[in-house]
Amino acid sequence: MARTRQAGGAATSGTAGNRGERQGRPAAARRHDPNYKWVALSNTTLGVLMSAIDGSIVIISLPAIFTGIGINPLDPGSTSYLLWIMMGYLLVTAVLVVAFGRLGDIYGRVRMYNGGFVIFTLGSLLLAATPFTGSTGAIWIIGMRLVQGVGGAFLFANSQAILTDAFPPEQRGLAFGINGISFLAGQFVGLVVGGILAAINWRLVFFVSVPVGLVGTIWAYLRLEELGTATRARIDWPGNLTFAAGLTVLLIGITYGIQPYGGDSMGWTNPFVLTMIAAGLVLLGVFVWVEQHTAEPLFDLDLFRIRAFSAGNLAGFLSALGRGGLSFMLVIWLQGIWLPLHGYDFADTPLWAGIYMLPLTVGSLVFGPLSGYLSDRFGARPFATGGMLLTAASFVGLMLLPVNFPYWAFGGLLLLSGLAGGLFFSPNMAAIMNSVPARQRGAAAGMRATFQNSASVVSIGLTFTLMIEGLSAPLPKALNQGLVAHGVPAALAAQIAHLPPVSSLFAALLGFNPMATLLPASVLHALPAGQAAILTGKEFFPGLIAAPFGQGLLVVFVAAAAMSLVAAWASWMRGGRYVHAEVPAAGSSAGSSAGEVSTRL
Given a cut of 90, is residue 374 above it in pLDDT?
no
> Does the pLDDT value for residue 129 go beyond 70?
yes
What local confidence, expressed as pLDDT, does residue 1 receive? 38
Work out the average pLDDT over 324-347: 82
Please, where are the H alpha helices in 76-171? 78-107, 109-128, 134-166
Higher-confidence residue of 264 and 599: namely 264
Mean pLDDT of 582-587: 45
Tell me the pTM: 0.75
Phi/psi at 471 (nearest 5 deg)?
-80, -25
Residue 403: partners with Cβ closer than 8 Å, 6 or more residues away: 333, 337, 338, 546, 547, 549, 550, 553
Cα–Cα dist 173/184, whole Å? 16
Q: Tell me which of 269, 295, 321 is where a domain ends.
A: 295
Is pLDDT at 24 greater than 60 in this prediction? no
Note whether residue 537 is domain-resident: no
Q: Does residue 561 surpass a pLDDT of 80?
A: yes
- From CA 505, how far away is CA 465, in angstroms rounded? 11
For residues 220 and 125, membership in a common domain is answered with: yes
Residue 393 within a domain: yes
Taking the C-alpha atoms of residue 454 and residue 316, their distance in angstroms, rounded to an integer, is 11
Same domain for 212 and 333, yes or no, is: yes
Residue 228 — very low, low, confident or very high, per pLDDT cuts 50/70/90? low
Higher pLDDT, 54 or 405: 405
**Total domains present in the chain:** 2
Instruction: Single out the residue of 493, 501, 475, 503 nearest to residue 531, CA to CA.
Output: 493
- How many angstroms separate the CA atoms of 473 and 551, rounded? 10
> For residue 490, how many other CB atoms are within 10 A of its CB?
10
Instruction: Tell me the mean pLDDT in the region 416-437.
Output: 85
395 or 520: whose pLDDT is higher?
395
More confident residue, 476 or 408: 408
Residue 589: what pLDDT? 37
pLDDT tens-digit map of 131-160? 999 889 999 999 999 999 899 888 887 887
What residues does 12 pair with on adjacent strands?
A: 4
Q: Which domain holds residue 248?
A: 237-295
The pLDDT mean for the chain works out to 79
Domain membership of residue 119 (yes or no) is yes
Would you place residue 600 in the very low, low, confident or very high pLDDT band (cuts 50, 70, 90)?
very low
Are residue 163 and residue 220 in the same domain, yes or no? Answer: yes
The residues, any chain, with a CB within 8 Å of residue 136's CB and separated by 6 or more, are: none
330 within some domain = yes
Do 105 and 179 belong to one domain?
yes
Q: How many CB atoms lie within 10 A of CB 408?
A: 8
179 pLDDT exceeds 70? Answer: yes
Which range has the worst mean pLDDT, 114-123, 474-483, 530-539, 583-592? 583-592
Q: Which of 57-71, 411-425, 479-493 has the lowest mean pLDDT?
A: 57-71
Last residue of a domain, one of 272, 295, 318: 295
For residue 529, tell me if it sits in a domain: no
Domain membership flag for residue 17? no
- 305-330: average pLDDT: 85
* 29 and 176 housed in the same domain: yes
The H or E element containing residue 559 is: helix 540-572
Domain contains 530: no
- Whether residue 197 sits in one domain with residue 291: no
Q: Nearest Cα to 302, choosing from 595, 23, 587?
A: 595
Amino acid at site 305: R
Whether the predicted pLDDT of 111 surpasses 90: no
Whether the Cβ atoms of residue 61 and residue 197 lie closer than 8 Å to each other? yes
Question: 33 pLDDT band (50/70/90 cuts)?
Answer: low
Same domain, 247 and 183: no
Contact 190, 57 (CB under 8 A): yes
pLDDT in tens, 443-455: 777 778 778 877 8
Q: How far apart are CA 119 and CA 123, in angstroms?
A: 6
Q: What is the structure's pLDDT at 601?
A: 39
Q: For residue 232, what pLDDT is reported?
A: 66
Instruction: Report yes or no on 592 lying in a domain.
Output: no
13 forms bridges with which residues in the sheet? 3
**What pLDDT is stored for residue 2 in this prediction?**
37
User: Which of 337-341, 361-365, 392-396, 435-439 holds the top average pLDDT?
Assistant: 392-396
pLDDT, average across residues 385-390: 93
pLDDT at 16 over 80: no
Residue that wins the pLDDT comparison between 552 and 55: 552
Higher-confidence residue: 511 or 145?
145
Residue pLDDT, tens place only, 467-506 = 887 777 788 888 888 889 888 888 888 888 887 777 777 7
* Segment among 20-34, 292-306, 513-527, 534-548 with least mean pLDDT: 20-34
> For residue 218, is pLDDT > 80?
yes
Average of pLDDT values for 229-247?
76
Q: Average pLDDT for residues 365-375, to the nearest whole number? A: 77
In this prediction, residue 380 has a pLDDT band, given cuts at 50, 70 and 90, of: confident
Work out the pLDDT band at 5, boundaries 50, 70, 90: very low
Burial class (CB in 10 A: 0-12, 13-18, 19+), 226: middle
Which range scores top for mean pLDDT: 214-223, 357-366, 388-397, 584-593?
A: 388-397
**Quick one: average pLDDT of 391-418?**
93
Residue 595 pLDDT: 39
Under the banding of pLDDT at 50, 70 and 90, the label for residue 221 is confident
> Are 302 and 251 part of one and the same domain?
no
pLDDT at residue 327 tops 80? no
| Backbone phi and psi for residue 227, each to the nearest 5 degrees, phi listed first | -100, -15
Claim to verify: residue 283 and residue 307 sit in the same structural domain:
no
Overall average pLDDT of the 276-287 stretch: 92
Q: What is the mean pLDDT of residues 306-332?
A: 84
**3-state secondary structure at position 22:** helix
Judge whether residue 101 has pLDDT over 90: no
- Average pLDDT, integer, range 92-104: 80
Choice between 258 and 599, residue whose per-residue pLDDT is larger: 258
Are 36 and 179 found together in one domain?
Answer: yes
Same domain, 189 and 217: yes
For position 578, what pLDDT does the model report? Answer: 65
CATH code of 123's domain: 1.20.1250.20
Q: Which tops the pLDDT comparison, 74 or 71?
A: 71
- 353 and 291 belong to one structural domain: no
Helix, coil or strand: residue 592: coil
The per-type count for the chain, helices as H runs and strands as E runs, is: 25, 2
